Structure 1
């Protein structure tokens, strides 16, 4: 078993805790309440100072998700939806592929509309599905295949740091875990997609936490099974007690650590502000002498990485990821590791009793997921360990595809950024979806 000194890991954890900087300015509330399809918002712009620094890195390093999409020649839309508890969530849409554009503007897919919603992982954002060449990034590949592609962003990440009443400077803003993602955010985003597209049933793809949210959502809203034709889980995460990534060593002490960080006022993890993105992208550049730090942090959280990611593109990746979240989201995952249960957030006996009606948090049932599920997993995944994935698949009622990714060294983040992900994941993924259309 890999041993990492706890003191060293604590330093890394605290390094990941971001500041409580003010939110990036976005459109006024009136625009957020009445989004204009096809408009490009300035929300969460990551444009940074320093033309020389920008020119020294990949030209896509500091582009927002809509800008990344447009830079590749695809149409891009920004949509906003307000969750039932007031969080303003930003979604990004690629309504069609480049070959479906008429006069470079209007989409013409021949009347056939296949809608897919893709949800990101922990500390990630919509950018993760468009941060590669068009023949390698999942968002572009699916758009070119005729899909109307929607990319979600959960509350608290760089694109969804707004609330109708609360400010990110207030601790109350960060009082959420992935329970709230599943209970409030995902249903609101999916309903918005259905309303805008006029398509009542869509496909769903999740990576890592994007699958966790889906599984939990069906416990709170089982009727949403009727909105989903088929679900694909890349590196699905429900059970996690076999997770090998070194950060798992914190799990037995999670509640102590959480109380300590709360007392110190650390409510947000890895705020991806302009200064953070500048530092991360420069440190992770191919010629940087500090690049080993990027590799170390990646190893502590996600385990070993392969050589399938373009090293010249690492500054782009680290300028966008981590994209920020609440401390409680990370705490929730560590609680799941410690308890060996797929369960709701443990607030402690008093608050549990008030929220759940019991002193212990309820356990989620994977039996509530009725839609067909396709699973892609890899042997070298230290987050979604094969043993945990197997247990998850065994409890899902309708797994119709259970596919191991062939390369034995394919890692957790290779599902997002690997140059060979198209051949080993995305092509068979789309074949699986096609079998249900």
Structure 2
């Protein structure tokens, strides 16, 4: 009777403490969310603009927080949650999303591994996969398949549940032992007896039957769940996203001439003679090209149209992948856009050429007899932002060096390079970088989050911004103000899995300085080492190479795409590319869309995908390449690899 009474009292007390703790935490969250909503309301004219961001509920609201996953319908099912977590911890389909998101998560497009999915994604007469299934719900810029994390608030809920359960379990056992002394003595005796039996068994020779697994037999593995996994951010890779959606995948390790190890990822069509190479921009990776799922990502769309797709990754990860395992942080981050253009891109494109040529000659022996051409495929490139600037620099420098660039067409989405028409904050940053670069360069070699804890915190906060729209809207608004009013989903981009605790793309100080130099000079030019002798050694002139003067060397078509809402690289800057190339006789086109800067990669835009495909389909049979032609006043510059320079 007493034992039952104590159990009832402990059970009621435990639930009361859990409810009080949970409601206290919710009140704090409501306060933060409410203050954020108030601040967002006070900001003039921002709410209506930000509501246009896909997948975000940015209208100011004082709505309370959502229940965590184990408190559906307001009732704690913590024990069931822990049980499911321990059983399904290593299941690749584990979903940490809240109940309100489950309705959306169930509407993922079918994978290409099924016959019905191919029928649902494309329609007769359409050059691009259909996206009708996506419009049945609110669009999500960052596809739900790439967001599995739990936020900081959810972790606090979980931690409080674990602590309260553990504390009351200890109290319950202590009370049981005190109120049942005979049972306590019997339990102690059984424990001592089992301990002595274990000692005897340990000293005896015990024969344990074993079995040998064949080479082809699957090796059994015990499912485990660690504290690290329970608090893990979504650390999936581009490979995980591609394979989960049913597409083939291949990873190719590429080493540059200066020792950087790059990951060239592939969605292979080995017999295809159409190849598309995609190159990301600053603070990004190959994940950007697949983050919108099957029907909204350029990489999947190109593969569905018969292309062999390669996803390039620039140098610049927190993990510092290099042949020199002991390379210092200062030495690793010592690169500019020059190295992206003259080391990274050449290494990856030459690897593509090597792989494709070998595969096609094996699968199609008749190609071995075509001695007039050493490239039995057409290679096009789709680049965004800084990736576009690096690709332009790559083509020009390869033409100057009279080396093949292997490309048949360029499609550049909001390419960097010209930046003098930019928001005021960019001018401030430009002046600070140019003024303080001698002092900052030795101490700040790169811009990235150096510790696992803060990377995890950033990743989890991105999840909280999804759960609490007023907080997310406020952060989105502040970032938008900082970037001159650009309405891209800047907060949503943090939901991409490459921003995780294990690794994260960064940017070197020299890349930022290089962009500042371009903005200050109002020219698209190579890196200025700040010393006439070093520039002379690198370029054969005391000034960096002005790449705009060499646009006449382009021997392939170039398609430029600008965003009318893009405040990072404004349409006027892309139009400058167009005018200079047109004047230089380049086969160039220009188009504009109602996009902000990140909409080119992180938003599902059917019209953009259709336009890109229409440009790629213009690639025909390769003709003879024009020889190097310079103006009479120009001389052929000499180019040296900048890793040999000490400036």
Q: TM-score, normalised by structure 2?
A: 0.52
Change in 2 beyond 3 A, CA 1:123/1:167: farther
**1:210 and 2:387 are equivalent in the alignment:** yes
Change in 2 beyond 3 A, CA 1:299/1:217: farther
Does the 8 Å CA contact 1:62/1:316 hold for their aligned counterparts?
Answer: no
- Per the alignment, residue 14 of structure 2 pairs with none
- Per the alignment, residue 524 of structure 2 pairs with 342
Deviations 1:224-244 (A, max 9, x none): 665111110011222111123
**Partners in 2 of 1:197 and 1:244 — Cα distance?**
43
Q: 2:560 aligns with which of 347, 353, 375?
A: 375
Does the 8 Å CA contact 1:344/1:362 hold for their aligned counterparts?
Answer: yes
Question: Larger radius of gyration, structure 1 or 2?
Answer: 2
5+ long unaligned stretches in structure 2: 1-147, 150-225, 358-375, 621-647
1:183-332 counterparts in 2 under 5 A?
183-198=342-357, 199-222=376-399, 223=402, 227-244=406-423, 246-263=425-442, 265-271=443-449, 274-285=452-463, 286-288=466-468, 291=472, 292-293=474-475, 296-297=478-479, 300-301=482-483, 303-306=485-488, 315-316=495-496, 319=499, 323-332=505-514
- Per the alignment, residue 92 of structure 1 pairs with 265
Does the 8 Å CA contact 1:200/1:227 hold for their aligned counterparts?
Answer: no
Change in 2 beyond 3 A, CA 1:136/1:155: same
Q: 2:281 aligns with which of 109, 118, 121?
A: 121
Deviations 1:347-366 (A, max 9, x none): 11243244334332221132
SS at match of 2:518: helix
Change in 2 beyond 3 A, CA 1:318/1:245: farther
SS at match of 1:315: coil
- Per the alignment, residue 8 of structure 1 pairs with none
Deviations 1:10-68 (A, max 9, x none): xxxxxxxxxxxxxxxxxxxxxxxxxxxxxxxxxxxx999644445xx8xxx32111112
Query: By percentage of residues, which structure has more strand?
Result: 1
Change in 2 beyond 3 A, CA 1:356/1:400: closer
**Partners in 1 of 2:475 and 2:440 — Cα distance?**
23
Q: TM-score, normalised by structure 1?
A: 0.76
- Per the alignment, residue 551 of structure 2 pairs with 366
Does the 8 Å CA contact 1:271/1:325 hold for their aligned counterparts?
Answer: no
Does the 8 Å CA contact 2:278/2:382 hold for their aligned counterparts?
Answer: yes
Change in 2 beyond 3 A, CA 1:346/1:203: same
Does the 8 Å CA contact 1:125/1:157 hold for their aligned counterparts?
Answer: no
**1:182 and 2:359 are equivalent in the alignment:** no
Alpha-carbon distance, 1:147 to partner = 1.1
- Per the alignment, residue 305 of structure 2 pairs with 145
Q: 1:418 aligns with which of 579, 597, 603?
A: 603
Deviations 1:124-152 (A, max 9, x none): 11111111111001111111111111011
Change in 2 beyond 3 A, CA 1:232/1:272: farther
Does the 8 Å CA contact 2:274/2:377 hold for their aligned counterparts?
Answer: no
Deviations 1:143-162 (A, max 9, x none): 11111110111112357x32
**Partners in 2 of 1:260 and 1:189 — Cα distance?**
34
**Partners in 2 of 1:174 and 1:298 — Cα distance?**
28
Does the 8 Å CA contact 1:119/1:153 hold for their aligned counterparts?
Answer: yes
**Partners in 1 of 2:445 and 2:494 — Cα distance?**
27
Change in 2 beyond 3 A, CA 1:216/1:306: closer
Change in 2 beyond 3 A, CA 1:176/1:63: same
SS at match of 1:284: helix
- Per the alignment, residue 100 of structure 1 pairs with none
**Partners in 1 of 2:250 and 2:477 — Cα distance?**
34
**Partners in 2 of 1:72 and 1:299 — Cα distance?**
36
Query: By percentage of residues, which structure has more helix?
Result: 2
- CA RMSD in angstroms, aligned pairs only: 2.9
